[in-house]
Amino acid sequence: MLSKTGDRRISRTQAALRDALVQLVEQRGLDAISVGDLCTAADITRGTFYNHFKDKEALVNFFEDQVIDDLGVFQERMGTLSLAELAKVAVQKKPLPLLIELFDYLRSEGEFLHALLGAGGDAAFGPRIRDCVCTNLVQSVLHKRYRESSDPFVAYYVSFYASAYLGVITRWIETGMQETSVEMARIAQRLLFIKPGESIKL
Amino acid sequence: MLSKTGDRRISRTQAALRDALVQLVEQRGLDAISVGDLCTAADITRGTFYNHFKDKEALVNFFEDQVIDDLGVFQERMGTLSLAELAKVAVQKKPLPLLIELFDYLRSEGEFLHALLGAGGDAAFGPRIRDCVCTNLVQSVLHKRYRESSDPFVAYYVSFYASAYLGVITRWIETGMQETSVEMARIAQRLLFIKPGESIKL
DNA sequence: CACGATATTATACAACTTGTCTAATACCTT
DNA sequence: AAGGTATTAGACAAGTTGTATAATATCGTG
């Protein structure tokens, strides 16, 4: 019978595989890892691996899905933000609690994200995150009347800022998450109200 | 003796492998391709493959390097642009010839870029292009006095726009390069003088 | 605690991949 | 035309993959 609290053996195996994945991707890159390598690092048998996952790709997707699901919660909450609210907190220089929470969450998954968003990681993961969080963030910020415009420029405009925010997150993670979540929330907000060629107030 | 014009056999082999790479990455993704697959698709022997490349990764890097080198030329020319020039062409709505040339070049490498920048491609390639072209583009546009600032915000500011422009390029390639190079140059320029929350003139 | 269920182990297997090597052949440059 | 060299076809050991089996250890539940 299925119970809410899963089998501890399964949890342990999955956790061990996740740690092994992060460690090995960091060391050698995803392509250079074999299922056997993962099992050795996780201290399990190959048979056990195939009990859980079809192949290496399925393993990676499984753990990526967990992060994407978690981010989905933020995604929904982002959708409820209005531009007016954003402008208000920007003026007050008071970082949005939601953004702080987001960076807190990202930090909690920092090792995984560092490995799988990095150069040795999964090429499909970055776009997935971008499409999940960032596009929505931009949509909530974009003037309502342009959200469903068919003008190609609007699509590029959205792409532009979605990639931009993923770039900020990626840089933060790549450089070891030096800034606090509050600092990052503030940076993310300042970037909303700036033009590329504009003079920056430091 | 080495001559300027290389051996035709080598050129043919490399071209065949490049085509095979693009085709197979598009079909199955880089990870799922074996050296044997590449050789079958390229109609060469595995021995020939190893005559040229140490392994699959070396092959990928070789062709990526060619693109990066080509982009290096644009990178240098970007560095000579001043913000004043950019503002001028923006007002005149006349796209910069350099930008048009850049999108022309990207189109000429469209199939390769579509495959290797895509979800089944190489996770390391996007960051390489970003660091090559985009960062420099931003540097040339960023106010001079902030270029060497140690304020962490400036670093994120640069990251933000570098990723943003790579995102625009990536979207253009992913969606099959519908827009002309002139249209894309115009879009890229318009994006320079806009704020996220700002009303867009369509 | 004891039971039934099941995750894990150890092991084996064929099919495939990898990287290297050889001798013969075909093609290229000069 | 001649010498150089890339390509071919074939073989090799080492490693990887996905699957399967029976024995064992660990789990959740009653």
- Do the beta carbons of residue A57 and residue A35 sit within 8 Å? no
Provide the token pair at A10.
């399964």
pLDDT greater than 90 at residue A196:
no
* Of B152, B100, B91, B102, the residue nearest B129 (C-alpha): B102
CA distance B136 to B75: 6
Q: Do A156 and B168 touch (CB under 8 A)?
A: yes
pLDDT greater than 80 at residue B44:
yes
CA distance A159 to A181: 24
Q: Do B156 and A168 touch (CB under 8 A)?
A: yes
- Do the beta carbons of residue A193 and residue A99 sit within 8 Å? no
Q: Which residues of A touch B190 (CB under 8 A)?
A: 153
CA distance A103 to B4: 54
pLDDT digits (tens, 9 = 90+) for A51-64: 999 999 999 999 99
Question: Is nucleic acid strand C under 7 Å from A136's C-beta?
Answer: no
Average pLDDT score over residue span A156-177: 94
CA distance A173 to B160: 14
Of A152, A163, A200, the CB nearest to B179: A152
User: Which residue has the least CA–C1' distance to nucleotide C27?
Assistant: B9
Q: What chain B residue is nearest to A193 in terms of C-alpha separation?
A: B195
* Of A137, A144, A187, the residue nearest A160 (C-alpha): A137
In this structure, the number of other CB atoms found within 10 A of the CB of residue A195 comes to 14
Based on its alpha-carbon atoms, the radius of gyration of chain B, rounded to whole angstroms, reads 20
> What is the count of residue pairs from A and B with beta carbons less than 8 Å apart?
160
Shortest alpha-carbon distance between residue A131 and chain B (Å)? 12
- Do the beta carbons of residue B63 and residue B112 sit within 8 Å? yes
Q: Do A121 and B123 touch (CB under 8 A)?
A: yes
Question: Is nucleic acid strand D under 7 Å from A127's C-beta?
Answer: no
Question: Is nucleic acid strand D under 7 Å from B148's C-beta?
Answer: no
In this structure, the number of other CB atoms found within 10 A of the CB of residue A21 comes to 24
Chain A 29-68 contacts with nucleic strand D (CB below 7 A): 34-37, 46-47, 50, 54-56
CA distance A176 to A82: 31
Q: What pLDDT is stored for residue A131 in this prediction?
A: 85
- Measured CA A89 to C1' D5 distance, in angstroms: 70
Q: What pLDDT is stored for residue B148 in this prediction?
A: 72
CA distance B59 to A33: 18
Element (H, E) at B35: helix B35-42
pLDDT greater than 60 at residue A125:
yes
Q: What pLDDT is stored for residue A172 in this prediction?
A: 98
pLDDT digits (tens, 9 = 90+) for B89-130: 767 778 999 999 999 999 999 999 999 999 999 999 999 998
* SS3 label, residue B121: coil
What's the whole-model pTM score? 0.92
Query: What's the DSSP call for residue A30?
Result: G
User: Which residue has the least CA–C1' distance to nucleotide D20?
Assistant: A47
B90-124 exposure pattern, b = at least 16 Cβ within 10 A, e = fewer = beeeebbeebbebbebbbebeebbbbbbbebbbbb
User: Which residue has the least CA–C1' distance to nucleotide D27?
Assistant: A7
Provide the token pair at A93.
């220089």
